[in-house]
Amino acid sequence: MKIALVGYGKMGHMIEQAAKRAGHEVVTTIDVMADDAKVKVAAGDTDAIVRAVKSSGAEGIIEFTHPTAVLANVRALLPLGLPLVVGTTGWNDKHEEIAEYAKQVGGTVMTAGNFSIGVNMFYKIVEEAAKIMAEYKDYDVATWELHHNQKADSPSGTALEIARRVQLGYKDKTEIVTDAFHERPAANQLHVSSTRCGNVPGTHKVFFDGTADTIELTHTARSREGFAVGAVESLIKLDAALKSGKVSKGNLYGWDDIY
């Protein structure tokens, strides 16, 4: 597959290598800062991004930029009609808006809080564990995540998805709190805490704490390579799903829709 990369930072470089190892061709790399990108554009110049993708002959697009740029990029790229995978996080509150826009222009986009296969298996484990533990009222639940100090959003998209999976079991946890508590938490509040430090690729924990013991579930990424491999694989699967009719154009999809 011929792939255009919008965003050529550390993750963009890793995605390029993952795509090449899988036998695909990266026909263009586009960035606002990277001097080694094939196309360097001014910040906010989505017209230049669209022109670069069009002229490259790309058959699919992977966007991995910054939370401040992602919405404008997605809006600019969707009308091209190419399968689009977005790895940038920090825009969960705009998913419905983008799904409606995709319907209007006939574009197709897939996004996930994390493209690592291991993380997506962790989601399923957390969801099942939450359903089991919620039956035992002595056990409260909370989550915590740790990432490198260059990460632009907090909490991570992965942490928010983990929290959503917890809520599927703990029906009484109706409010996710991501700020520090300055008073006792209410029974309906699920605390999602974050730490930013050093070069940590990503660690996520779920705690089920009772009076007698604590159960911890942990996912620890050893590198960002898993994210890159998953992003490439997701674009291939999205393209195949469109061609087979498993999904249709004009929508926003998630991991579970494609895999």
Any known ligand binding at 148? Answer: yes
211 among annotated binding-site residues: no
Active-site residue, from 66, 103, 124, 151: 151
Is 88 a known ligand-binding residue?
Answer: yes
Judge whether 112 is annotated as a binding position: yes
Q: Which of 2, 20, 147, 191 is catalytic?
A: 147
89 marked among binding-site residues: yes
Is 114 annotated in a binding site? The answer is yes
Buried b (16+ CB within 10 A) or exposed e, 167-206: bebbeebeebbeeeeeeeeeeebbbbbbeeeeebbbebbb
115 annotated binding-site participant? yes
Active site residue 151: yes
158 is annotated as contributing to ligand binding: yes
Known active-site residue 205: no
Q: 117-133 vs 157-169: helix axis angle to the nearest 10?
A: 30
Q: List binding-site positions.
A: 87-89, 112-115, 148, 157-158
Q: List binding-site positions for (S)-2,3,4,5-tetrahydrodipicolinate.
A: 148, 157-158
Q: Which residues are catalytic?
A: 147, 151
Q: List binding-site positions for NAD(+).
A: 87-89, 112-115
